Amino acid sequence: MQGLMQDWSMTLDKILDHARANYPDVEIVTRSIEGPIHRTNYGRVWERAKQVSHALADKRVVQGDRIATLAWNTWRHLEVWFGVSNMGAVLHTINPRLFPEQIAWIANHAGDKVLFLDLTFLPLVEKLAPNLHTIETYVILTDREHMPQTSLKNAIAYEDFIAGRPTDYRWGDFDENTAAGLCYTSGTTGDPKGVLYSHRSNMIHAMCVNQKDCFAVGVEDVVLPIVPMFHANAWAIAFIGPMAGAKLVMPGAKLDGPSVCDLIETEGVTMTAAVPTVWMMALQYLRETGKRPGKLRRVAIGGAAIPETVLRAFEEDYGVEVVHAWGMTEMSPVGTLGALQAKHANAPIDERMRLKLKQGRALFSVEMKIVDDAGKELPHDGKTFGRLLVRGPSVAKAYFRNEGARRPDGTVLEADGFFDTGDVATLDPDGYMQITDRAKDVIKSGGEWISSIDIENFAMGAPGVACAAVIGVKHPKWDERPILIVEPRAGADAPSREAMLAHLEGKIAKWWMPDDVVFVAKIPIGATGKINKLELRKMFQDYVLPSAQAAE
Ligand code: ADP
């Protein structure tokens, strides 16, 4: 027997329609690329997104065509975001921090027809243009007044592109499984792979991520998505904002400590989200200036493990609740969040911090399990670690154009329909998951695994440390041994090798102790703002450990 409820296909146009119907004058504030602060609202964004759809239709863009952006978080990017997806085309957000050759490779692989780009990226795109084989039109996200001279063929200023277009475009009206967005993984192993989100997967994901224990954004909130829209859907915030009617504050190109803290204070931001490296800079700025983070009450931190110093600074020094999130591009991206269970809410502070440093519990709609190399399920005892597998309506089953396919139908899943995250983790009886490493970063010493993330977390808390990373280097007897790479904090007394090792003593197992400590001026950061282990491994590939010399 079938239910007797209405068909209401879950397409993303419903989100912006809802915002326009209920919160037309709620603001979207942007630090514009041209400089000044710009203000608009959901009503205006709705109209201009309709104009974007019209302008694209005029360029013969049809359902399924890929339309790319190389853009920061701004109101114009938001208009393009909805204007493209709502007409049934596919919004391909390109990460501008990738290597230029990768950007060209991705745009060609995606077959992008139109590219919307910020002024910042014009020199880059001009250089790449001879190798961009499918792009017919370049739309520069600015107005005529700021439109620069350019060698790009068929380039037009965004404001001219949409000017005078009607605002009556018919959005939606297609199947909810239609592709809505395309986002490539950063390709730390092999070529980047395209994750193709559907309207339905994005809608379900946004609804689940905004539950009370998760982002909990409501109509009274002012939300600053620092996580870029090109980094896995800005963790759904560009959908959650208009769904909830929250004011959005878009940081544009300036993601440094002073710029971010200034927006938090002047715009009354209550909730924000970014990777840890952003917060390390922002917290340093707050410490140095003695300023406070205004009305901020919640911060979502994810994309990499939160260093304990960052967690404690927010929670203890500033009274801001930290929500630790874990996920990946293939999961739309959020998989777990760090809200504590009721029975832990009043635990002693150190116990709460220990739990919050774990990556959190599965949000509704995500199933998780850990397995050994033979695929056998492992116990949820908080100690045993294994490969972390996930399943759910917002988890990828295949990559665009069947890249990396493992099965004849093009999918990349295990036989039971689970997706291998490439992470190694523990699960405890209360459902808290803890990443111990990425499978490719795990250090294999004498047949046992050492977690680089654990050691890094402790090392980052040592005095005088700006950033710390742990990688495995070759060892004749043990296969691999960990070394600790430290970037000292500018202006502080540089820590010594002995002080670093003494700091770790008693916090980690003896055999996890790094065999050496190396100091570098800068630890390389990758395209999504995380420590670039691949680069570090290259830097240290010929490194000979003192302990290795002794063993030979
Ligand atoms: P990239 O491969 O470019 O880093 P993603 O953003 O998809 O792309 O990265 C996903 C990976 O980031 C996860 O598989 C995991 O290894 C790591 N990660 C994400 N969030 C966390 C977290 N809170 N703690 C530890 N690692 C995390």
Instruction: Decide whether any atom of ligand 1 lies within 6 Å of the 529 Cβ.
Output: no
In a domain, 373, yes or no: yes
Measure 277 CA to ligand 1 centroid, in angstroms.
13
Q: Quick check: bond before 242 cis, omega within 30?
A: no
Instruction: Decide whether any atom of ligand 1 lies within 6 Å of the 232 Cβ.
Output: yes
Which one is catalytic: 69, 74, 185, 426? 185
Which one is catalytic: 189, 308, 414, 449? 449
Could you identify the atom of ligand 1 that is nearest to the CA of residue 422?
14
Residues 448 and 406 in one domain: no
Candidate from 278, 328, 436 with most ligand 1 atoms within 8 A of CB, to mutate = 328
pLDDT, averaged across the chain? 94
CB–CB of 454/378 below 8 Å? no
CB–CB of 250/30 below 8 Å? yes
d(CA 181, CA 160): 25
Could you identify the atom of ligand 1 that is nearest to the CA of residue 95?
3
Considering only CA atoms, give the Rg of the chain.
24
Residues 123 and 173 in one domain: yes
Give me the phi and psi of 258, to 5 degrees please.
Answer: -60, -45
Burial 368-397 (b: 16+ CB within 10 A, else e): bbbbeeeeeebebeeeebbbbbbbbebbbe
Residue 411: DSSP 8-state: B
Distances (CA, A) of 530 to 13, 88, 405, 432: 33, 33, 27, 23
Instruction: Decide whether any atom of ligand 1 lies within 6 Å of the 435 Cβ.
Output: yes
Instruction: Decide whether any atom of ligand 1 lies within 6 Å of the 304 Cβ.
Output: yes
Question: Which CATH number does the domain housing residue 384 bear?
Answer: 2.30.38.10
Whole-number pLDDT of residue 428: 97
Measure 259 CA to ligand 1 centroid, in angstroms.
25
Whole-number pLDDT of residue 349: 94
Instruction: Decide whether any atom of ligand 1 lies within 6 Å of the 457 Cβ.
Output: no
Which one is catalytic: 330, 456, 480, 487? 330
Instruction: Decide whether any atom of ligand 1 lies within 6 Å of the 422 Cβ.
Output: yes
Residues 288 and 433 in one domain: no
In a domain, 91, yes or no: yes
User: What average pLDDT does range 508-530 have in this prediction?
Assistant: 91
pLDDT band at residue 440, thresholds of 50, 70 and 90?
Answer: confident
Whole-number pLDDT of residue 527: 81
Q: Residues 259-302: pLDDT tens digits?
A: 999 999 999 999 999 999 899 889 999 999 999 999 999 999 99
CB–CB of 55/31 below 8 Å? no
Which one is catalytic: 127, 153, 254, 444? 444
Instruction: Decide whether any atom of ligand 1 lies within 6 Å of the 423 Cβ.
Output: yes
Could you identify the atom of ligand 1 that is nearest to the CA of residue 186?
3
In a domain, 3, yes or no: no
Instruction: Decide whether any atom of ligand 1 lies within 6 Å of the 311 Cβ.
Output: no
Closest-CA residue to 455 (of 444, 464, 468, 466): 468
Whole-number pLDDT of residue 529: 81
At which of 439, 464, 495 does a domain end? 439
Distances (CA, A) of 317 to 36, 289, 314, 540: 32, 14, 6, 37
Q: Residues 212-249: pLDDT tens digits?
A: 999 999 999 999 999 999 999 999 999 999 999 999 99
Distances (CA, A) of 417 to 159, 362, 367, 377, 389: 46, 18, 11, 14, 10
Over pLDDT 90: what percentage of the chain?
A: 84
Could you identify the atom of ligand 1 that is nearest to the CA of residue 301?
23
For residue 189, pLDDT over 70 is answered with: no
For residue 187, pLDDT over 70 is answered with: no
Out of 171-175, 184-188, 437-441, pick the least confident.
Answer: 184-188
In a domain, 430, yes or no: yes
Measure 359 CA to ligand 1 centroid, in angstroms.
11
Could you identify the atom of ligand 1 that is nearest to the CA of residue 330?
7
Measure 327 CA to ligand 1 centroid, in angstroms.
6
Over pLDDT 70: what percentage of the chain?
A: 99
At which of 439, 459, 494 does a domain end? 439
Give catalytic status of residue 185 as yes or no: yes
Helix, strand, coil content of the chain in percent (nearest 5): 30, 25, 45
In a domain, 39, yes or no: yes
pLDDT band at residue 64, thresholds of 50, 70 and 90?
Answer: very high
Q: Which residue has a Cα nearest atom 27 of ligand 1?
A: 304
Measure 121 CA to ligand 1 centroid, in angstroms.
26
Residues 82 and 109 in one domain: yes
pLDDT band at residue 451, thresholds of 50, 70 and 90?
Answer: confident
Question: Which CATH number does the domain housing residue 163 bear?
Answer: 3.40.50.12780
For residue 382, pLDDT over 90 is answered with: yes
For residue 188, pLDDT over 70 is answered with: no
Instruction: Decide whether any atom of ligand 1 lies within 6 Å of the 365 Cβ.
Output: no
CA 267 to mean position of chain CA atoms: 23
**Pairing assessment for the beta strands 516-519 and 479-488 based on DSSP bridges:** parallel
Residues 434 and 472 in one domain: no
For residue 550, pLDDT over 80 is answered with: no
Measure 493 CA to ligand 1 centroid, in angstroms.
32
Q: Residues 491-505: pLDDT tens digits?
A: 888 899 999 999 999
CB–CB of 14/207 below 8 Å? no
Measure 38 CA to ligand 1 centroid, in angstroms.
32
For residue 334, pLDDT over 60 is answered with: yes
Measure 452 CA to ligand 1 centroid, in angstroms.
14
Residues 448 and 345 in one domain: no
Residues 200 and 325 in one domain: yes
* Residue 475 in tokens: 């060892």
Closest-CA residue to 121 (of 64, 71, 174, 194): 71
For residue 104, pLDDT over 90 is answered with: yes
Which residues form the domain of 390?
A: 367-439
pLDDT band at residue 546, thresholds of 50, 70 and 90?
Answer: confident
User: What average pLDDT does range 461-480 have in this prediction?
Assistant: 92
Most distant CA pair in the chain: distance in Å? 76
Measure 229 CA to ligand 1 centroid, in angstroms.
16
Instruction: Decide whether any atom of ligand 1 lies within 6 Å of the 329 Cβ.
Output: yes
Residues 214 and 285 in one domain: yes
In a domain, 395, yes or no: yes
Give catalytic status of residue 478 as yes or no: no
Could you identify the atom of ligand 1 that is nearest to the CA of residue 231?
6
Q: Which residue has a Cα nearest atom 9 of ligand 1?
A: 328
Residues 233 and 357 in one domain: yes
Whole-number pLDDT of residue 493: 84
Measure 388 CA to ligand 1 centroid, in angstroms.
12
Residues 266 and 323 in one domain: yes
> How many distinct structural domains can be found in the chain?
3
In a domain, 544, yes or no: yes
Give catalytic status of residue 449 as yes or no: yes
User: What average pLDDT does range 409-429 have in this prediction?
Assistant: 95
> Letter for the amino acid at 478?
W
Q: Residues 3-40: pLDDT tens digits?
A: 999 999 999 999 999 999 999 999 999 999 999 999 99
Give catalytic status of residue 487 as yes or no: no
Residues 212 and 150 in one domain: yes
Whole-number pLDDT of residue 552: 54
At which of 404, 439, 474 does a domain end? 439
User: What average pLDDT does range 98-103 have in this prediction?
Assistant: 91
For residue 397, pLDDT over 60 is answered with: yes
Residues 413 and 452 in one domain: no
Whole-number pLDDT of residue 335: 98
In a domain, 6, yes or no: no
